[in-house]
Chains A and B, each alone.
Chain A
Amino acid sequence: MPALTLTHLSRTFANGTAALGDLSATIADGAFVSLVGPSGCGKSTALRIIAGLDEPSAGAIEWQGARPEIGFVFQEPTLMAWASAGRNVALPLELEGVARAAAAAQARTALANVGLAGFEKSLPRELSGGMRMRVSIARALVAEPGALLMDEPFAALDEFTRAKLNDDLLALWTAQRFTTLFVTHSVFESVYLSQRIIVLSGRPGRVVADIANPAPYPRGQAYRTSPEFNAVARDVLAALTEAHG
C-alpha cells in the first residue's frame, strides 16, 4: 500500500536556481527509502517540500488518506539550548497541548528508546554530538509519527557513532515501522539502511536510478562487508557515476 506518491515534483527558487528538476516516486507504507545524490541536487529541498515546509514549483504530493504526523530530523541536532533534553523531546507534545506532566512522561520513554534513559535533565551542551542527535531523533519520534524525514542526520558524526546510530535507528524502525525517507550523500550509509535507494542527478535533481535492496533485517556489522552489500553499493555508485560522467 503506498503511503505517499510524488508526481513530477520540481522546485525553482525565486533567484532562478533550479534545485529539484523532476522527482516522481511512490513510497510504500512503512518502507525505509533513501534519497542519494551529490550536494545541491535538491534532496533536502524535496524533503522540506514533503514535510510541508516548502512549496513545490510544480508537481504534487499525495498522501494515502490524511497527511500523517511527520517527524523531522535536521543535519544539526537543532535543540533548544536553554531547555533540558526532556523539555526538548516533549516540545512536539506540548505544542499540541498535551499537559506538561504527561508530555514529560512520554518524553522520558522516547529518550529511553534512543538509549538516553536518565538524561531528561541534561542540557544540550552537556551532551556529546551523538547524544544530541539521539535527543533529536527522540523528539522526532515522541508523537509517534506516521512518517520520519531525515536530512543527512549523521553527516557530522564520526564513523563509530554513525554506525551505532545507524543500527539504533534500524532497531526503532523495525519495531515501529514508520515510513522513513532518509537523505544522505553517503552511498554506503544508504545501502546499509534502506530497502530502496533513489539516486538523484546533480542540480537540478532528477531520478536517475531506483534501486531495491532486498537484504533482510536485522542487518548486522557482517552485512557491511558482505557480497550482497557490495553488489547493491556497486549499482548505486554506477548510477551516480553515470549521472555525473
Chain B
Amino acid sequence: MKRLIHLILPILLFLALIWFWEWAVGYWQVKKFVLPAPSAIWTALAQEASDLMAGKPGTLFASAFATLQTTLTAFALAAVTGILLAALFASSRLAEAMVAPYTVILQVTPVVAIAPLVLVWVGLDNAWVAVLILAWIVAFFPVLANATAGLKAADPNLRDLFRLYRASRWQTFTRLLIPSSLPYLLTGLKTAGGLALIGAVVAEFAAASGNSGGLAWRILEAGNRLQIAKMFAALILLALMGLALYAILSLIEWLLLRRWHGAVAR
C-alpha cells in the first residue's frame, strides 16, 4: 500500500502540474512563442512522429536517434578505455604516476573549450567524429576514477590471504580485484551514462554544424524559427533518453549486486 502511494503521488503531481500549465496558458493568454501549452507540445511531437512515419528527413526522432547513437558509442568507448586504463593503473603504480595527471587535465579542461580544436582536427565534414570524441572525453573520467578506486578497494586481509595461498596475479585480479571493484565500477558507469548524453549534446552545440545531425541542432533550428513547442518536444526526448539510460544501468547494477551489495559481510 505504501509502495503504491509512493508510485502514485509523483504521477498525480505530474498530472496536476500539466493541468495547471494548460489552464494557465489559456487563462493568461500566454503567447505560444513564450510558453506553449502542453497540448501544443504534444501536437508538435505527434507531428514529428507522423513525419517520421511518412519518411520525411530531419525529424526530431531521427535526430534523437543520432544523438542516442553518439551517446551509446561514446559510453561504450569510455567504459572500455576507462576500465582498461584502470586495470593498467592497478597493475603498475609507475604507469599510474606517469599517466594519471594527464587524465585529470583532460577532465578539468571544459569540453566546450576543446571542441573547436577537435573540430579543426577532424574536419568540418566529420563533425560527428568530433562530437563522439568530445562525448567520450566527458564520459571517460568517471569510469576511470571509479574503476581505479574500486580496484584498490579490496580488503587488505583478503589480499594477504591470496598471497598466503600463492595466487597468481591473474587469479588475484579475476577472483579478488574485479569482484571487489564491481560496486565502484557500476557507480562510475551510471555517472558516465548520463555524462555521455550531456557530453554528446554539448559537443553538438559546440560543433554547431547541421551535419552532426543531433538533437542540439534541431533545438537551435527550432529556436531560430521561434518553434518553442518543438524545442520543448526535443527537451522531452532528451530527458526520456537520459532517464532510460539511467534506468537500464541501474537495473544492471541491481541484477549484479543484489545478492551481496550493502552486506556487512567482511
List the interface of chain A (C-beta within 8 A of B): 48, 51-53, 70, 72, 74, 76-83, 91-92, 95-96, 123-125, 127, 132, 143
Contacts and interface: CB of A to CB of B under 8 A. Distances in A.
Contact of A95 (B158, B166, B182, B259): B166
Interface of B: 155, 157-158, 160-167, 171, 175-176, 179, 182, 259-260, 263-266
Contacts of A81: 260, 263, 265-266
15 contacts: A53-B163, A53-B164, A70-B164, A74-B161, A78-B266, A80-B175, A81-B260, A81-B265, A82-B182, A91-B165, A95-B166, A95-B171, A123-B263, A125-B264, A132-B265
A127 B263 CA distance: 11
A82 B150 CA distance: 15
Given A82-B259, A82-B260, A95 B162 contact: yes
Contacts of A132: 265
Contacts, number: 63
B158 A78 contact: yes
A76 B157 contact: yes
A78 B161 contact: yes
A54 to B, nearest CB: 9
A124 B259 CA distance: 10
A72 B164 contact: yes
Contacts of A96: 165
Given A53-B160, A123-B259, A95 B264 contact: no
B264 A78 contact: no
A74 B160 CA distance: 10
Contacts of A83: 179
